[in-house]
Structure 1
Amino acid sequence: MLIVRKTNAYIGLILAIIAISVAPMLRVPIKGNWNLYQTDTRLFFISFAILAIATFCLLIRQLRGFKLFSIVFFIWSVLMAGAVYFQSNNYTKSAFANKFIGKVVHYQWGWIVLLVAVLLLLTSVKKEQLKIPTT
């Protein structure tokens, strides 16, 4: 039987929404801080879709679906971090410009918030054996 830790789940969902929508993900020198929407809109919309399905599964108490989409969101976050890294290091066709852009663009604290949110979502559902009292 699956048991949900509601505080972990709700805090993880709130932190994930904050990390995806408002938290700065990249520091670009001339333009300032970029959130995920400014970095790549496809990553933003796919992340929100996965998070919305996970939230829907939690609200209707479909814990297997919530656990599945928490794992999918974790894998997606790892792929998203890699995609942003490769996009910032291979932005142009010029090797000199790519090295320069790669050294100037830095990750921000939004990734840490996203990591904490994903870890909270992963640890919010646990499998527990049903205990039947014998008397």
Structure 2
Amino acid sequence: MTAKHYTSLLGVLLVIVGGMCPMLRVPILGNWNYWEIDTVLATIVYTLCAIALLASVTRKQGLLRWCGWSLLLMLVLTLTAVYFKANDYFSFIPMKKLAAAAARMIKFQWLGWGLMFAGAFIVIVFSRKYKAPFQTLR
């Protein structure tokens, strides 16, 4: 395996580790990781990570690139869904200012999100095919 395959493996491992880090701080319930935010999205992301690990080991650059873009798409989808859900979570409270104050109590923990996005970007960048600069033509 070459250095870019190892770097792709590092990117996938960053996504996995980032998903286990705290991503949300809910006041009474504590810190939530990716699995506690939504189990269906977490299952999809971890399945994509398993496919990306397999693609990196078997040197399937196209599949690895597809997994990287799919991971990035799922992370953006999850981040927007969590943002809108956190702002809408207390909509049952009839007073708007109290509902907005309660929604501001939910805090994002950016270490987990950052690791996951960095890992997805690393997978995308290092899954490109590179030609050797001084390769001779046959």
Alpha-carbon distance between aligned partners in 1 of 2:83 and 2:121, rounded to the nearest angstrom: 21
- Taking structure 1 as reference, are residues 9 and 89 closer, same or farther at Cα in structure 2, changes over 3 Å only? same
Paired residue for 1:24?
A: 22
Paired residue for 1:103?
A: 104
Paired residue for 1:45?
A: 43
Paired residue for 2:6?
A: 7
Could you tell me how far 1:73 is from its partner in structure 2? Answer: 0.8
Could you tell me how far 1:46 is from its partner in structure 2? Answer: 1.1
Residues 68 and 121 of structure 2 are in contact (CA less than 8 Å); yes or no, is this contact kept in structure 1? no
Residues 8 and 123 of structure 1 are in contact (CA less than 8 Å); yes or no, is this contact kept in structure 2? no
Residues 8 and 124 of structure 1 are in contact (CA less than 8 Å); yes or no, is this contact kept in structure 2? yes
Paired residue for 1:133?
A: 136
Q: Which runs of 5+ in 1 are unaligned?
A: none
Alpha-carbon distance between aligned partners in 1 of 2:22 and 2:4, rounded to the nearest angstrom: 28
User: Where in structure 2 are the equivalents of 1:110-121 lying within 5 Å?
Assistant: 110-121=112-123
TM score, norm. by length of structure 2:
0.83
* Structural RMSD (CA): 2.2
Secondary structure of 1:126's counterpart equals coil
Alpha-carbon distance between aligned partners in 1 of 2:92 and 2:112, rounded to the nearest angstrom: 29
* More divergent stretch after superposition (52-61 vs 42-51): 52-61
Paired residue for 1:74?
A: 72
Name the structure with the higher strand share.
Answer: 1
Q: Which runs of 5+ in 2 are unaligned?
A: none
Alpha-carbon distance between aligned partners in 2 of 1:9 and 1:134, rounded to the nearest angstrom: 28
Could you tell me how far 1:129 is from its partner in structure 2? Answer: 3.9
